[in-house]
Structure 1
Amino acid sequence: MDAPIDASTPSRRQPTVLLIEDDPGDALLVEELMADGAPGLTLEWVRSLAEAGAWLAEALPDCVVLDLNLPDSQNLDALARLRNYTDQVAVVVMTGLDEEQAGSAAVAAGAQDYLVKGRVEAELFGRAVRYAIQRKQAERTAAELRVSNLRAAENARLERGLLPKPLFRGEPVVDVVARYRPGRASALLGGDFYDVVQEADGTVHALIGDVAGHGPDEAAIGVGLRLAWRTLVFSGITGVEQLALLERILLAERLVGHTFATVTVLCARPGTETIEVIRAGHPGMLVRSPGGTRWVEVAGGPALGILPGRVVWPVTELTLPRGHALMLLTDGLYEARIGLDGERLGEDGLLGIANGVTADQASACVDELIGRVEAAAESSGGFDDDVAVVHLRWR
């Protein structure tokens, strides 16, 4: 018979069983049961929950075999203390012959199984440990799936808030094509947002923006800014006053002081080819014409939240002749890395790709542009950041 297990430095080998047992004789028995019934597992031994806490601070076993009567903890309190150390491992409790009810209670409290000392054979012991490990793995997988489903549902709700359908009051005077593509890291939703509203008289308002960062907090701020913008449009508040109010909302909603948002807003009134554009730290836009595509970056000011209350953003009038179209975008489209050296595409690179687009119909044009950029960035893993594009062509 082998000597009892040495309770020294935790083994890093897997799979591992940690035995918490103060009686050396019982520990030796468990070692023999493991050798005969579960020869593929490694056994480590500690004599108390305090020693177990130190062990678990360094490594996690696959399973803990826990005696419910220890010098520093008794009955279900032992299980509760163990779960305070970690709830990520399977637990099989060991009880005395007269404590079988305690074993059932331990399973009800979160253990995977229990064994009664004096009634355990090697095969039963090995099967109990292996099944406990499998059940715990299944529990963790199910929990991860629930979290993933909740995150996906939350992202879907936030995405609907960030990326709404255009609102037309009256017969539409503008054709809108909008696209959103998440970046490769966007298990977390980004803060890109856009909106288009047409008033009953044919005035068209459009918005595109990007909250710095990724995650639900940034996405929630983006949703708030977009909803506030639509409310301001309904209230007749436009221009610089509109951006100043959006900045105040950003300041009230942001959780950290350095959060900012880039925004471009425009207003096109009926009967004119002039569009009022205000740019707050946001990239320029693409203007499509029958003769080609050009990059337009009107005068602007800093992003919302950079210099709170100290900015008056310039209003620029942009002429858009008949047959021309505007393409608003977020910086994820031209900040994609291309080539083996991973250089940024940049505005000039994006313009070159845009002028190579062959599709004329708006939706096909936008899809081709995004597809070409994504193909160019394929060697670097695709888009680093979220991409939003809004294509506007007046009828």
Structure 2
Amino acid sequence: MGGTRSLPPYGPFGSVATSPQPEVTTVREKTSPRIGAPRSRLPGADEQPRILLIEDDPGDAFLVQDLISDSDITPQVTWVRTLAQGRAELANPEAQCVLLDLHLPDADGLDAVRQILQVAPWAAVVVLTGLAQERTGLAAVAAGAQDYLVKGQVDGDLLTRAIRYAIQRKHTELAATAVQASELRAQENARLERGLLPIPLLRDDRVQVSARYRPGRAQSLLGGDFYDVVQTPDGTVHAVVGDVSGHGPDEAALGVCLRVAWRAFVLAGLRDGALLGMLEQILVAERSGPEIFATVTSLRRSPEDGSLRIVRAGHPGVLVHSLADIRLEEVDGGPALGIVSGGSWPVTDLPSPRDGAVVAFTDGLIEGRIGQGSQRLGEAGLLALARKHLHLPAPAFLDTLISAAEDLAADSGGLADDVAVLHLKWSGIT
């Protein structure tokens, strides 16, 4: 290492050393800076760090470069004179460390640190302070900087080691934050899943319920798909499948709200169109914006004659099958909830086989693109798949149906939307 040259306190100093300098780019004011660049990468053992030096004093700036040149690293250094220029330069995600003078023409002290952390949360920050401002350096670390260096007490080894350690600490901090965020997402998923995918409320064994939920390929959180099954004291089996538009925690929470409200309304005696009208009022009151809507299919099966009564609000039809055949029922329906004010939803009565079953699903199952084209699987394609696997018991039938739909959409990236499927089977069907 070369000598014991050190960074002097603030103010003018004499000649600048003439040893070889690292690569430096002087940046003038840029317009329309891009904010929100991605996190920087941690440099490997053989990779030199990329440094942004924000320093208004040319002498101090060149001495920093000289100290670095005396070390065993040859970083790429970009030098700017103002915080505004630094903010613009941080649009470049390659900067891994910011050497920040705490006294700049357009910012001073901790305010400069806060602004850098705001626009470049991925970058390590090392502040440069004078001897009289050492307490300010400690405050900068408390505010989020990785380290501080006192001018007049820094040599080349200390400066380069501080840069390396600062980048390492920042990388560790970002990794720990990502792990914590992942754990919080998992906990939130578990809470939302319990609300979206409840245990059916059944009073006897005359109906068997099988259900599947699968998040879309690009979702880290549950979407707004939901289902529920309730058997009232008279033996009637009520079921619902719904889908809140959009994805994320807000939509999932709204799906939970609608699912719980549906169960409460059923137990309170509301039926058919009146029930959907109340659900729409809940949706409008709870949604995050007027663009949010929900599609719903609500059905009930009478214990006396086994007939199905179906109400559909902008939702796909249902599959009704017996031991020998399966058919798609796309009964008349009304608008999705939240689309128009004062909508109405017609009620359709369907005969169902004595030993039969009904399958309700969200549109994520039929929206997949077949191959690399633009053709959707659609209800007709789903019906063809269902007929091929009609002989399977309910759990295997659902798993196979979803897997087959995913395979058909594999060349287009798989099923993009969430999928919820509900299978209700009555006694006698195997």
Q: TM-score, normalized by length of structure 2?
A: 0.84
Output the CA distance in 2 between the equivalents of 1:220 and 1:384.
Answer: 20
Task: Please state if 1:235 is matched with 2:268.
Answer: yes
Query: Which segments of 5 or more consecutive residues in structure 1 lack a partner in the other structure?
Result: none
Q: Which amino acid aligns with 2:412?
A: S
Q: Spell out, residue by residue over 1:203-261, the C-alpha distance to the aligned partner (whole angstroms, 9 max, x if none).
A: 11111111122222222221111111111111111121111111111121222223221
Q: CA deviation at 1:386?
A: 0.9
Shift of the 359–138 alpha-carbon distance from structure 1 to 2, 3 Å rule, reads farther
Pick from 356, 360, 364 the counterpart of residue 332 of structure 1: 364
Output the CA distance in 1 between the equivalents of 2:115 and 2:368.
Answer: 50
Q: Spell out, residue by residue over 1:62-83, the C-alpha distance to the aligned partner (whole angstroms, 9 max, x if none).
A: 1111223444544444434443
Output the CA distance in 1 between the equivalents of 2:405 and 2:85.
Answer: 57
Task: Please state if 1:164 is matched with 2:164.
Answer: no
- Identify which range, 237-246 or 40-49, moves more after superposition: 40-49
Q: Which amino acid aligns with 2:373?
A: D
Q: Which amino acid aligns with 1:113?
A: D
Q: Which amino acid aligns with 1:151?
A: R
User: 2:325 — aligned with what?
Assistant: 292
User: 2:185 — aligned with what?
Assistant: 151
Q: SS at 1:337's partner residue?
A: coil
Output the CA distance in 2 between the equivalents of 1:323 and 1:75.
Answer: 78
Query: Which segments of 5 or more consecutive residues in structure 2 lack a partner in the other structure?
Result: 1-17, 31-36, 41-47
Q: Spell out, residue by residue over 1:55-98, the C-alpha distance to the aligned partner (whole angstroms, 9 max, x if none).
A: 33566621111223444544444434443554432111223344
Q: CA deviation at 1:38?
A: 5.3
Output the CA distance in 2 between the equivalents of 1:147 and 1:218.
Answer: 19
User: 1:253 — aligned with what?
Assistant: 286
Q: CA RMSD in A?
A: 2.5
Q: CA deviation at 1:329?
A: 0.8
User: 1:380 — aligned with what?
Assistant: 412
Output the CA distance in 2 between the equivalents of 1:102 and 1:333.
Answer: 59
Q: SS at 1:249's partner residue?
A: helix
Q: Spell out, residue by residue over 1:297-352, the C-alpha distance to the aligned partner (whole angstroms, 9 max, x if none).
A: 1122221122221x332111111122211111111111111223252111111111
Output the CA distance in 2 between the equivalents of 1:6 and 1:251.
Answer: 56
Give the 5 Å matches for 1:83-98: 83-98=117-132
Pick from 383, 391, 402 the counterpart of residue 351 of structure 1: 383
Output the CA distance in 1 between the equivalents of 2:84 and 2:362.
Answer: 54
Output the CA distance in 1 between the equivalents of 2:380 and 2:108.
Answer: 71
Pick from 182, 199, 208 the counterpart of residue 175 of structure 1: 208
Aligned residues: 393
Task: Please state if 1:8 is matched with 2:41.
Answer: no
Output the CA distance in 1 between the equivalents of 2:404 and 2:118.
Answer: 52
Q: CA deviation at 1:10?
A: 8.9
Q: CA deviation at 1:161?
A: 1.2
User: 1:222 — aligned with what?
Assistant: 255
Output the CA distance in 2 between the equivalents of 1:356 and 1:314.
Answer: 32
**Residue 326 of structure 2 contacts residue 390 of structure 2 at CA under 8 Å; is this kept in 1?**
no
Q: Which amino acid aligns with 1:265?
A: S
Give the 5 Å matches for 1:97-136: 97-136=131-170
**Residue 100 of structure 1 contacts residue 116 of structure 1 at CA under 8 Å; is this kept in 2?**
yes
Output the CA distance in 2 between the equivalents of 1:285 and 1:102.
Answer: 68
Shift of the 116–166 alpha-carbon distance from structure 1 to 2, 3 Å rule, reads same
User: 2:337 — aligned with what?
Assistant: 304
**Residue 60 of structure 1 contacts residue 89 of structure 1 at CA under 8 Å; is this kept in 2?**
no
**Residue 300 of structure 1 contacts residue 313 of structure 1 at CA under 8 Å; is this kept in 2?**
yes
Aligned sequence identity (%): 54
Q: CA deviation at 1:362?
A: 1.2
- Identify which range, 243-252 or 32-41, moves more after superposition: 32-41
**Residue 325 of structure 2 contacts residue 390 of structure 2 at CA under 8 Å; is this kept in 1?**
no
Output the CA distance in 2 between the equivalents of 1:312 and 1:73.
Answer: 61
Task: Please state if 1:212 is matched with 2:245.
Answer: yes
Q: Spell out, residue by residue over 1:156-193, the C-alpha distance to the aligned partner (whole angstroms, 9 max, x if none).
A: 2222211111012x323210001011111212422111
Shift of the 358–172 alpha-carbon distance from structure 1 to 2, 3 Å rule, reads closer
Q: Which amino acid aligns with 1:111?
A: A
User: 1:199 — aligned with what?
Assistant: 232
Output the CA distance in 2 between the equivalents of 1:277 and 1:121.
Answer: 79
Shift of the 326–78 alpha-carbon distance from structure 1 to 2, 3 Å rule, reads closer
Pick from 244, 250, 256 the counterpart of residue 277 of structure 2: 244
Q: TM-score, normalized by length of structure 1?
A: 0.91
Output the CA distance in 2 between the equivalents of 1:247 and 1:69.
Answer: 58
Q: Which amino acid aligns with 2:318?
A: M
Output the CA distance in 2 between the equivalents of 1:48 and 1:315.
Answer: 69
User: 2:348 — aligned with what?
Assistant: 316
**Residue 21 of structure 2 contacts residue 69 of structure 2 at CA under 8 Å; is this kept in 1?**
no
Shift of the 263–119 alpha-carbon distance from structure 1 to 2, 3 Å rule, reads same
**Residue 262 of structure 1 contacts residue 282 of structure 1 at CA under 8 Å; is this kept in 2?**
yes
**Residue 10 of structure 1 contacts residue 44 of structure 1 at CA under 8 Å; is this kept in 2?**
no
Pick from 373, 392, 395 the counterpart of residue 424 of structure 2: 392
Q: Which amino acid aligns with 1:285?
A: V
Q: SS at 1:385's partner residue?
A: coil
Pick from 277, 282, 285 the counterpart of residue 310 of structure 2: 277
Shift of the 66–194 alpha-carbon distance from structure 1 to 2, 3 Å rule, reads same
Output the CA distance in 1 between the equivalents of 2:333 and 2:111.
Answer: 64
Q: Which amino acid aligns with 1:33?
A: L
Output the CA distance in 2 between the equivalents of 1:314 and 1:343.
Answer: 30
**Residue 323 of structure 2 contacts residue 391 of structure 2 at CA under 8 Å; is this kept in 1?**
no
Q: CA deviation at 1:359?
A: 4.4
Shift of the 75–215 alpha-carbon distance from structure 1 to 2, 3 Å rule, reads closer
